[in-house]
Amino acid sequence: MKTVNIAIDGPSGAGKSSISKAVAGDLGFIHVDTGAMYRAIGLFAIRNQCLEPEQIAEKIREVQVELKFIGGSQRVILCGEDVTDYIRSPEVSMSASKVSAVPEVRAHLLDLQKKIASENNIIMDGRDIGSVVLPHADLKIFLTASAEERASRRYLELKEKPDCPTYEEVLNDIRKRDDNDMHREIAPLKQAEDAVLVDSSKMGFNEVVEKITALIHEKLD
């Protein structure tokens, strides 16, 4: 059976995951957050002190990553342990950004990502989904927003938490990750030629969900 594959790529903090999750829920599709897979490997690298590219490349065969979908929510399993709740810290974000530049790490996750897409109707979000993982996706979307807008959204989420970074720190972190993601040699973040650009800088959450749902209906109906 041919499955429906929608690719959503874009920079950190553009809202890809929350938007993909909402759209997938409306359509009855599975939402696959590939960033969480890189985050799980980033966590492994921190725990096992193998943050240097050659160290993680050497150990990558030991790193078993699986996804489970429970009630529409993705859980990430790292070597048998559900690590979903431990992969959102700034430390893991930075480590994920580093390990994701290592070719052996990307190759390790590629087959799993392709397999999930071949077996399910999915919305898969990441950086290289339209360009590398699913070049024949039914629809490709590049979802972005200005770095300042992404930083202020992230800052609002963090503001009430203890040890909240300043707005400038959040903005610097986003710029650093953009730079890592866009300038790495392998599978850099870029808009696929046939992707539809959605700039959410001046759009509300529901507006973006509606826009993307409409684009999908247009394509599939």
Strand pairing partners for 198?
Answer: 143
Alpha carbon dihedral 142, 178, 86, 91, in 10-degree steps, equals 180
Is 126 a binder of ligand DC (CB under 6 A)?
A: yes
Q: What residues from 139 to 198 belong to the interface with ligand DC (CB under 6 A)?
A: 177, 181
The CA distance from 4 to 117, in Å, is: 8
The residue count for binding ligand DC (CB under 6 A) is 14
Identify which of residues 78 and 221 has a Cβ nearer to ligand DC in the complex.
78
Task: With contacts defined by CB under 6 A, name the span among 124-132, 145-153, 168-176, 203-211 that binds ligand DC.
Answer: 124-132
Identify which of residues 114 and 217 has a Cβ nearer to ligand DC in the complex.
114
| Beta-carbon contacts of residue 116 (< 8 Å; ≥ 6 apart) | 30, 32, 67, 122, 124
Q: Smallest distance from the beta carbon of 70 to ligand DC, in angstroms?
A: 19
Identify which of residues 84 and 97 has a Cβ nearer to ligand DC in the complex.
97
**Using CA of residue 92, residue 9, residue 144, residue 190, what is the dihedral sign?**
positive
x/- letters, 3..42, toward ligand DC (CB under 6 A) = ---------x---------------------xx--xx---
Is 97 a binder of ligand DC (CB under 6 A)?
A: yes
Is 128 a binder of ligand DC (CB under 6 A)?
A: yes
Mark out the alpha helices in the chain (DSSP H runs).
16-27, 34-47, 53-59, 90-99, 103-119, 147-158, 167-183, 205-220
Strand pairing partners for 196?
Answer: 141
The CA distance from 152 to 116, in Å, is: 34
Is 96 a binder of ligand DC (CB under 6 A)?
A: yes
**Residues of the shown chain interacting with ligand DC in the complex, contacts defined by CB under 6 A:** 12, 34-35, 38-39, 96-97, 100, 126-129, 177, 181
